[in-house]
Amino acid sequence: MPSTDDTTTTASLASTDSARDDSARDDTARRDFVEQFAVMWEMAGSSLMDGRILGYLMMMRQPYISSADLGAALSASAGSVSMSTRRLVESGFIKRHVVPGDRSHYFRAEDDVWGSWLAGERRYLDRQRVTIEQGLAVLDPADAQDEEVRRRLVNGRDYMSWISQHHRKMLLDWEAFKARRDETPVAGSDDAVEDPR
C-alpha cells in the first residue's frame, strides 16, 4: 500500500505534468496567433517579419523584450529584426524601452496598436499632402497645358486634407468609445458617437 507521502508526490507530479501540458498548448496557440497575424499583416501589404514581430509583442507577457531575444524567439536574423523594429517604431506600432545601464535595444507593443496605426496613417496623409503641394508649386498657373495635371494634383491635395480631417474625428471617436467601454472620461471627446457594441 503506498504511503501518504508517495500519494502526495504522485499527485504533485501529475499536477506539474498537467500544468506543463497546459503551458505547452498555450505557447503553441500563441505562436499560431503570431504566424496568422503575420500572414494577415503581409496580405495588407506590409512585411511578413514586421507582422511576426508585432504579433509576438502583442502576445508576450513580459513588459518588454530585447532585440536579441526577439530574434531568438522568432528564429530571425539580427538585421531582419533591426529593420522591422525600426519600421514599426517609426509607424507608431511599437515603442523602444530603455533599461538604465543596458546598451541593448528593447521593445514593447503599444497598448492601443490600432489607435497608433490610425495616428501614423494620418501623419502619412499629411506628408502626402505636402508633397502634392510641392508638385502644384512647380506648375505655371497661366499654362493651359497643365490644366489636367493641376486638376489631378488639386484633387490629390484636397483628398489628403479631407481624409485627414476624418482621421482626426475617428481618433476622437475611438478614444470616446474606449472611455465608455472602460467607463473613464476622455478630455475633448464627442460622447455623441454611437457605441458599436
- The residue ranking higher by pLDDT, 21 or 52, is 52
Nearest-angstrom CA–CA distance, 42 and 164: 25
- Of all residues in the chain, the percent with pLDDT exceeding 90 is 55
Stretch (H or E) spanning 80 = helix 78-90
Predicted confidence (pLDDT) per residue in 64-108, tens digit: 999 999 999 999 999 999 999 999 998 888 999 999 999 899 999
Residues 4-109, CATH architecture: Orthogonal Bundle (1.10)
Q: Give residue 41's Cα distance to chain centre.
A: 10
**Which pLDDT score, from 0 to 100, does residue 192 have?**
44
Neighbours of 41 (CB within 10 A): 20
Predicted confidence (pLDDT) per residue in 119-148, tens digit: 777 888 888 999 999 999 999 988 999 999
175 pLDDT higher than 60: yes
pTM greater than 0.85 (yes/no)? no
18 pLDDT higher than 80: no
Domain boundaries, the chain: 4-109, 113-182
For the chain, what's the residue count? 197
Confidence of residue 22 (pLDDT cuts 50, 70, 90): low
Non-local CB neighbours of 93 within 8 Å, separated by 6+ positions: 54, 109, 110, 113, 116, 117, 120
